[in-house]
Chain A
Amino acid sequence: ETGVTQTPRHLVMGMTNKKSLKCEQHLGHNAMYWYKQSAKKPLELMFVYNFKEQTENNSVPSRFSPECPNSSHLFLHLHTLQPEDSALYLCASSQGAQASEAFFGQGTRLTVV
């Protein structure tokens, strides 16, 4: 039990499909994040939510649409993706205190065909 659960673990989708990634944290944290991990590139922050409000959008294309219905759940809705969007998508959460660590899920491995 990692405290941060992501589903699905693996996803293959066509460029015309619509799918969603789900993240759930059982740690009572108030901040949640989406990161993208591509091959041979550093992890890139995509979105930050603090108390359900989006506080950061790191110039992410609109084909990625986040949703945070409550502090425990975070979604990433995907539509009309490109093959270069294939990557590992990691969700994380933190309590928000300045020295707080971020807890990560095990990621969703996304392949766009």
Chain B
Amino acid sequence: AQTVTQSQPEMSVQEAETVTLSCTYDTSESDYYLFWYKQPPSRQMILVIRQEAYKQQNATENRFSVNFQKAAKSFSLKISDSQLGDAAMYFCAYRSAGGAQKLVFGQGTRLTINP
């Protein structure tokens, strides 16, 4: 079974600075997808960024980018120019490319933005 580990329960960053959230995963599959989801106080999970494992290029989405290291099974999220609205719980998630359509989530990292 696949597992996802987020080793940082809490992180904080000054507004406008850059922060990196860590995620590692374990799988024997070669084809899969990785996601970062954001959960603000409204509780809705919002997709931040997605990475296909077969793509070597790291995904970017405006101020959000990932560092995908397939051999190391590492998938970190970098948030540049942090804004107050970025404060939330961030979840790393794994999904197999085939078979059941289900996400395996990490424990989450609570990100605080200091003004």
Contacts and interface: CB of A to CB of B under 8 A. Distances in A.
A95 B45 CA distance: 17
Interface in B92-115: 97-98, 100-108
Nearest to A44: B105
B100 A55 contact: yes
A55 B106 CA distance: 23
Nearest to B97: A98
Which residue, A33, A42, A88, A102, has most C-beta atoms of chain B within 10 A? A42
Given A48-B100, A92-B45, A99 B105 contact: no
* Range for the number of chain A residues in contact with chain B: 20 to 34
B106 A42 contact: yes
Contacts, number: 59
Contact of A106 (B42, B47, B100, B102): B42
29 contacts: A2-B44, A31-B101, A33-B101, A33-B102, A35-B103, A40-B107, A41-B107, A42-B108, A43-B91, A43-B103, A45-B103, A45-B104, A48-B102, A55-B100, A56-B100, A56-B102, A94-B101, A96-B101, A99-B33, A99-B50, A99-B52, A101-B35, A102-B45, A102-B47, A103-B47, A104-B45, A106-B42, A106-B43, A106-B44
Interface of A: 2, 31, 33, 35, 40-43, 45, 48, 50, 55-56, 88, 90, 92, 94, 96, 98-107, 109
